[in-house]
Amino acid sequence: MSSPELYRPIELTFDGAAVIPADRTPLTVRLRHAASQAERVVPGFWDGGTTYRARFAADLEGEWTWQTDSADPSLAGRSGAFAVERGDDRGPVRVAHRFHFAHADGTPFRPVGATAYNWLHQDEPLFTQTVDAIAAAGFNKFRFMVFPQGGGYVEHVPALMPFEKTDGRWDVSRPVPAFFQRLERAVEMLGEHGIQADVLIYNAYDRGQFGLNELTESEDAAYLRYLVARLAAYPHVWWSLCNEFDQLERPDDRWDRTGALLAEIDPYDHLRSIHNWIELYDNNQPWVTHASIQNGSVTTDFGRANLYRDVWGKPVVLDEIKYEGDIPERWGHLDAEQLVHQFWVSTAAGCYASHGESFVTPSGSLHMVEGGPLRGDAPARLGFLREVLDGLDIAGLDPIDKWDDPAYVAGIPRRQYVQYLGRSAPTSWPFRLPIGVPGERLQEGDRFEVDVIDTWNMTVTPVGRRFTLTEVQRNDAYDRASAPIDLPEGASIALRITRVGG
Amino acid sequence: MSSPELYRPIELTFDGAAVIPADRTPLTVRLRHAASQAERVVPGFWDGGTTYRARFAADLEGEWTWQTDSADPSLAGRSGAFAVERGDDRGPVRVAHRFHFAHADGTPFRPVGATAYNWLHQDEPLFTQTVDAIAAAGFNKFRFMVFPQGGGYVEHVPALMPFEKTDGRWDVSRPVPAFFQRLERAVEMLGEHGIQADVLIYNAYDRGQFGLNELTESEDAAYLRYLVARLAAYPHVWWSLCNEFDQLERPDDRWDRTGALLAEIDPYDHLRSIHNWIELYDNNQPWVTHASIQNGSVTTDFGRANLYRDVWGKPVVLDEIKYEGDIPERWGHLDAEQLVHQFWVSTAAGCYASHGESFVTPSGSLHMVEGGPLRGDAPARLGFLREVLDGLDIAGLDPIDKWDDPAYVAGIPRRQYVQYLGRSAPTSWPFRLPIGVPGERLQEGDRFEVDVIDTWNMTVTPVGRRFTLTEVQRNDAYDRASAPIDLPEGASIALRITRVGG
């Protein structure tokens, strides 16, 4: 094999003497980084027959040694060594600058996500087409469920299920290796396309069809340990406990405990969230790394989504803001212009959003259920949004004057700003910036360049002249000497305002 | 004395043998309700010299017996009995129906509050004038601080302070009885005027002038126990830990512990909150009964304040939405029309708001600091709002279709609704209601009466004809047969829509 790479999974395989029920951890691997003496411990897992594996992703370059520990003598006391080199991987995405994300190597990550809940359970060619389509559109995060979906708009029932049954009941001590190998292949495929895998662990959409929503809390925990042992070494995994968790009638404290368990057992501390239906989860819980919110209405106007940032002090990803499509349900018939608008409103609020499509597919399903080619007009514009975000000089956009700026300008004070002018730009924009707290205060003489971003036509046009602050008031600053910027009236325009001196 | 009344303080006075430092509880009184055998325990307090008192407010009518317990033999083993009769008091205000308030006897309480932080520390006639003015305007809650305020716009320094000093440092074991007797008189005066006393326990506005913000956590706790022992038997007390708590540089977990202590020691479980400056407190903490929020911007447009309800699942009182006044700071120069508008937006969001005035007073201070006569045009309209709220048939206004109704109608489905049309009403309103979840679904044939409420001119005008639903769609219901309601175009209009049959 080629030399193990930093942040990439390194797989160790062991042939055991017997089948160990998978609700127990069959072995652990203790790893030591030679130079720093840092120690890591990862769980192994059963992978069929008497095959056991453990996966490890190194967060430090150089020599590592390892040895196994197990109650089973055939798996205990194995040892080895490897050397890790830096490759292209930037490492897991973490929370950065309180409200934003960055890879382990510090590179900002700006999620612009896609969604197809039941994708994992589709056959080829749909399975691969889906990933190709979302990658081509420029999405960099993808939400999908491990367990299969039941209910409306679901037109395909998978043969492969995650567990065997014992006495007619799902038996979490007997996972189906082929199911989880397929899941891993799915996660790998996303990674190969540069897409973060936002893995929905439990499922509120079973609706009694498969009964996987009826596992007990301890069965859920056994499955969680198994899933983490298999997937956590993939750097691009995000954990989401459930989509619309409150469709399941469970006390919140069961979710609290499950989330806390996940935080405890994941050796890599991947991002963790839970997504709401009608009732919001308490995202102040320490196990939650970022809020994953369903509420389209907060993205339909300014001054809303930013409120969620304040209450949790964590990044906010609006993982359901309704869908581009043509079904009668009001969650599924946004037009592309409106959906793109809502992404830009989310951006100006210092938040992130996810896309989904609800056009009816040839099978009678929806893209957001099964995946497939994208048909809407939004994806290209969202790929463009992502390019704009990736082109920013700053770690993330924060509302500058969060509760008082009538223009909802976001950015980092005195460095770079984005102002979104909404779906219908005025004929011109006189240079004005909010001051806000905290952060550096604008000064007379500060110089800026401005780019006019057409969010629908996907153009970035430098204004081509510089603006200099001539008047700094209590809460706003102006260039009164320069002519206003002419805008394409009625278009969906954003402005990127970058300080270049002064 | 007249017979003790239900919910009203009953005071027991004891002459002790010595001065017991007030950071210890000098005695407790154990009370037993004869009929139910229910037991209550309340702390006593030192009130100067060798005088000790304990106050108790009964929550059950009939015979009670009591006896004291104390480490001091002169205070131990006292006993007695009294009979409690129902009077006019409705009892402490509690959270009701998740997002609203009601007195212990079940009567809904709809807070429309006023604010003068430093009122307690003013001389007569200002002191009494303030209460007369806010009562005359119709406010039913009043926020004020126990500790004196320092900083800008404070023009009066009180002589009376809460503690003696020992070695130049405030000594919480030596409270000043006259200070707390004055506080009690202030609380009583509010009660006599039908006003809930929203007591701000700690003070982020000391600014080093008095040094009362520099008590240690254990000193804060001793003061809290003393305050609770003195005030908690007053039925109309609300506790607010601090206004703009995050102006003080304290770790959040100190506030968590202080709030939890308050919840533990208050025998009456009065309402408890904490009020923010820039950083929101975690109002999911179990000790918090309702969110007390500073954020004027959420009341300037629809679809915002309701978001706070969702994240905490508790009542939301917007205790600072900026002030009616004429000072240069943007928090202090709202005009009355705008402030009244913001109260109605808050109402439609299922929240409550508080008023304050920032006209400069003759002393150079502001009403919101020292009190005095009210000069603005908002108070009369807010008294009118309170009348409208008190006239509702329902326990409170909840957004009917919380994230999807473009009209932001609030109420209880199929019973009563309020729709606020904003600062500039259209010429007419065709009868339409949202359906929403959860709650009863509207039916064709449901009949309604509508009142047109002019929020500025303070009139309620019945439309005088009935409306019958002719069309119930997925998310909205209409009376297509009736002519729209004519409205005074451009006025600030709300509609009260009450089901009367069908």
Which residues, other chains included, contact B97 with Cβ-Cβ below 8 Å and sequence gap of 6+? B395, B396
Q: Residue B284: its chain A contacts at CB < 8 A?
A: 282, 284
* Mean of per-residue pLDDT scores for chain A: 97
Residue of A nearest to B476 (CA): A330
Residue B438: its pLDDT value, please?
A: 83
Q: What are the beta bridge partners of residue B112?
A: B353
pLDDT at residue B120 is higher than 80: yes
Instruction: With respect to residue A234, please indicate whether it lies within any of the assigned structural domains.
Output: yes
Instruction: With respect to residue B4, please indicate whether it lies within any of the assigned structural domains.
Output: no
Do B38 and B162 sit in the same domain of this protein? Answer: no
> Chain B neighbours among A 313-372 (CB < 8 Å)?
313, 328, 330
Do A268 and A406 sit in the same domain of this protein? Answer: no
Do A378 and A407 sit in the same domain of this protein? Answer: no
Do B51 and B108 sit in the same domain of this protein? Answer: no
Do A406 and A283 sit in the same domain of this protein? Answer: no
The sign of the CA dihedral B486, B492, B496, B497 is: positive
Are B29 and B67 contacting, i.e. CB atoms less than 8 angstroms apart? Answer: yes
Distance between A311 CA and the closest CA of chain B, angstroms: 6
Domain count for chain B: 3
CATH number where B19 lies: 2.60.40.10
Are A202 and A214 contacting, i.e. CB atoms less than 8 angstroms apart? Answer: no
pLDDT tens digit sequence for B223-274: 999 999 999 999 999 999 999 999 999 999 999 999 999 999 999 999 999 9
Q: Is the peptide bond before A235 cis (omega within 30 degrees of 0)?
A: no
Please compute Rg for chain B using Cα positions.
Answer: 24
pLDDT tens digit sequence for A170-223: 999 999 999 999 999 999 999 999 999 999 999 999 999 999 999 999 999 999
Residue B290: its pLDDT value, please?
A: 98
Nearest to A258 by CA among A227, A287, A226, A229: A287
B307·A304 Cβ contact <8 A: yes
Q: What is the DSSP letter of B122?
A: P
Q: Residue A437: its chain B contacts at CB < 8 A?
A: 278
pLDDT at residue A105 is higher than 80: yes
pLDDT tens digit sequence for B320-343: 999 999 999 999 999 999 999 999
User: If pLDDT is split at 50, 70 and 90, which confidence band does B437 have?
Assistant: confident
Q: Residue A311: its chain B contacts at CB < 8 A?
A: 280, 283, 308, 311-312
End residue of a domain, out of A55, A84, A113: A84
pLDDT tens digit sequence for B393-419: 999 999 999 999 999 999 999 999 999
Instruction: With respect to residue A4, please indicate whether it lies within any of the assigned structural domains.
Output: no
User: If pLDDT is split at 50, 70 and 90, which confidence band does A438 have?
Assistant: confident
Q: What are the beta bridge partners of residue A460?
A: A453
Are B26 and B46 contacting, i.e. CB atoms less than 8 angstroms apart? Answer: yes
Mutate to test the interface with B, among A247, A311, A312, A330 (most CBs of B within 10 A): A311
Q: Residue A284: its chain B contacts at CB < 8 A?
A: 282, 284
- In the predicted model, what is the mean pLDDT of residues A157-167? 96
Which residues, other chains included, contact A179 with Cβ-Cβ below 8 Å and sequence gap of 6+? A160, A161, A162
> Chain B neighbours among A 427-446 (CB < 8 Å)?
437
Residue B79: its pLDDT value, please?
A: 98
Q: Is the peptide bond before B125 cis (omega within 30 degrees of 0)?
A: yes
Which residues, other chains included, contact B474 with Cβ-Cβ below 8 Å and sequence gap of 6+? A328, A330, B435
B384 contact A CB<8A? no
Mutate to test the interface with A, among B276, B309, B310 (most CBs of A within 10 A): B310
The C-alpha atoms of residue A231 and residue A189 are separated, in whole angstroms, by: 13
3-state helix, strand, coil in chain A (%, to 5): 20, 30, 45
Residue A156: its pLDDT value, please?
A: 87
The C-alpha atoms of residue B275 and residue B317 are separated, in whole angstroms, by: 10
The C-alpha atoms of residue A95 and residue B114 are separated, in whole angstroms, by: 41
Residue A146: its pLDDT value, please?
A: 98
Q: Which residue has the tokens 């809303």?
A: A304
B311 contact A CB<8A? yes
Q: Residue A342: its chain B contacts at CB < 8 A?
A: none
The C-alpha atoms of residue B111 and residue B471 are separated, in whole angstroms, by: 36
Instruction: With respect to residue B1, please indicate whether it lies within any of the assigned structural domains.
Output: no
End residue of a domain, out of A58, A84, A110: A84
pLDDT at residue B1 is higher than 70: no
Do A101 and A174 sit in the same domain of this protein? Answer: yes
A279 contact B CB<8A? yes
Distance between B429 CA and the closest CA of chain A, angstroms: 23
CATH number where A178 lies: 3.20.20.80
- In the predicted model, what is the mean pLDDT of residues A323-342? 96
Instruction: With respect to residue A3, please indicate whether it lies within any of the assigned structural domains.
Output: no
Of B303, B310, B330, the CB nearest to A280: B310
- Extract the tokens encoding B122: 């003013």
Are A364 and A155 contacting, i.e. CB atoms less than 8 angstroms apart? Answer: yes
Q: Where are the beta strands (DSSP E) in A210-284?
A: 237-240, 272-273
Do B134 and B177 sit in the same domain of this protein? Answer: yes
Do A485 and A344 sit in the same domain of this protein? Answer: no
A374 alpha-carbon distance from chain centroid: 19
Do B197 and B78 sit in the same domain of this protein? Answer: no
Q: Residue B283: its chain A contacts at CB < 8 A?
A: 311
- For a pLDDT cut of 70, what percent of chain A falls above it? 100
Do A46 and A195 sit in the same domain of this protein? Answer: no
Are A414 and A439 contacting, i.e. CB atoms less than 8 angstroms apart? Answer: yes
Mutate to test the interface with A, among B252, B294, B298, B307 (most CBs of A within 10 A): B307
End residue of a domain, out of B390, B414, B446: B390
Residue A2: its pLDDT value, please?
A: 67
Residue B273: its pLDDT value, please?
A: 98
Instruction: With respect to residue B2, please indicate whether it lies within any of the assigned structural domains.
Output: no
Q: What is the DSSP letter of B205?
A: T
Are A437 and A404 contacting, i.e. CB atoms less than 8 angstroms apart? Answer: no
Residue of B nearest to A331 (CA): B404
Residue A437: its pLDDT value, please?
A: 82
Are A258 and A217 contacting, i.e. CB atoms less than 8 angstroms apart? Answer: yes
- Extract the tokens encoding B104: 């212990």
Instruction: With respect to residue B3, please indicate whether it lies within any of the assigned structural domains.
Output: no
pLDDT at residue A1 is higher than 70: no
- Return the SS3 of B460: strand
Q: What is the DSSP letter of B100?
A: E
Residue B152: its pLDDT value, please?
A: 86
B278·A312 Cβ contact <8 A: no
The C-alpha atoms of residue A75 and residue A80 are separated, in whole angstroms, by: 13
Residue B274: its pLDDT value, please?
A: 98
B297·A330 Cβ contact <8 A: no
The sign of the CA dihedral B136, B139, B141, B143 is: negative
Of A280, A300, A403, the CB nearest to B296: A403
Nearest to A240 by CA among A218, A280, A271: A271
ipTM score for this prediction: 0.95
DSSP string, A17-56: SSPPPTTS---EEEEEETTT--EEEEEEEE-STTEEEEEE
C-alpha to C-alpha distances, B247 to A306, B207, B312, nearest whole angstrom: 21, 10, 22
User: If pLDDT is split at 50, 70 and 90, which confidence band does B3 have?
Assistant: confident
User: If pLDDT is split at 50, 70 and 90, which confidence band does B41 have?
Assistant: very high
- For a pLDDT cut of 90, what percent of chain A falls above it? 97
Cα B24–Cα B27–Cα B32 angle in degrees, nearest 5: 140
One-letter amino acid of A141: K
pLDDT at residue A449 is higher than 60: yes
- In the predicted model, what is the mean pLDDT of residues A281-299? 97
Of A278, A284, A328, the CB nearest to B284: A284
Are A187 and A195 contacting, i.e. CB atoms less than 8 angstroms apart? Answer: no
A269 contact B CB<8A? no
What is the three-state SS of A296-362?
HHHHCCCCCHHHHHHHHCCCEEEEECCCEECCCCHHHCECHHHHHHHHHHHHHCCCEEECCEECECC
A284·B279 Cβ contact <8 A: no
For residue A460, the enclosing domain spans: 400-501
B173 alpha-carbon distance from chain centroid: 30
Please compute Rg for chain A using Cα positions.
Answer: 24
- Return the SS3 of B43: strand
pLDDT at residue B365 is higher than 80: yes
The C-alpha atoms of residue A244 and residue A277 are separated, in whole angstroms, by: 4
Q: Which residue has the tokens 């954990």?
A: A239
Instruction: With respect to residue B376, please indicate whether it lies within any of the assigned structural domains.
Output: yes
Distance between A297 CA and the closest CA of chain B, angstroms: 6
- Extract the tokens encoding A128: 């691969």
- Extract the tokens encoding A451: 């780019």
CATH number where B420 lies: 2.60.40.3950
Q: Residue B303: its chain A contacts at CB < 8 A?
A: 297-298, 300-301, 304
Pairing type for strands A141-145 and A112-115 reads: parallel
Do A123 and A216 sit in the same domain of this protein? Answer: yes
Do B38 and B130 sit in the same domain of this protein? Answer: no
